[in-house]
Structure 1
Amino acid sequence: MNWTSIIAIYALFWVLSAFVILPIGVRSYEELGMEKVPGQADGVPGNFRPGLILLRTTLLSAAAFGVFYANYVYGWIDRHTFDFLIAGPEASAD
């Protein structure tokens, strides 16, 4: 696999992981019992920690990419694994 492909695929895994991680552990001001500023939206996070989110996202994406790359190298799941989804000529014999 080309190194530019590795970077591009890892970036895709990172963005997907960010959307998975973002809502985890975030609480609103109301849930935390904190006083809101006048004009503040109701769903504004009261404990937003971007550093922790970046760390969790990076760890999750590294693990997911590691599994993807291991599958690429060892070929555990290939395109033939999903042949049961395609109706072949024997299925249309009726």
Structure 2
Amino acid sequence: MEWTSIVAIYALFWVVSAFVLLPFGVRTPDEEGVAKVPGQADSAPVNFRPGLLAKRATILAAVLCTLYVLNYAYGWIEAEDLILWGPGAE
């Protein structure tokens, strides 16, 4: 696999990881006991920390990308293994 392909796959994993991790650790004003700003949504986060989110997404994307590249190299799970029903299923 080319290194440029690995970088592109890592970038995709990073974006997906960031979106998956967005709701974790976020607290609303009602949970924190903080007054809301007029016009603020009830679900708006009080403690949004993009730096921490980026660090977590970087670590998760690195693990997932490593597993993906190792699976590509060693063929642990192939496309035929993902056929659960229909023609070709055993």
Match of 2:72 in 1: 72
Partner secondary structure for residue 85 of structure 1: coil
Deviation for aligned residue 1:87 = 1.3
Show structure 2 runs of 5+ residues with no match.
none
Match of 2:2 in 1: 2
**Higher normalized contact order (CA 8 Å, seq sep 6+, divided by chain length):** 2
User: Distance between the aligned counterparts of 1:50 and 1:84, measured in 2?
Assistant: 39
Match of 2:40 in 1: 40
Percent sequence identity is 56
**Aligned length, in residue pairs:** 88
Structure 1 runs (4+) greater than 6 angstroms displaced: none
Deviation for aligned residue 1:83 = 4.6
TM-align CA RMSD: 1.4
TM-score by length of 2: 0.87
Partner secondary structure for residue 47 of structure 2: coil
Show structure 1 runs of 5+ residues with no match.
89-94
Which is higher, the Rg of structure 1 or of structure 2?
A: 1
Partner secondary structure for residue 15 of structure 2: helix
TM-score by length of 1: 0.84
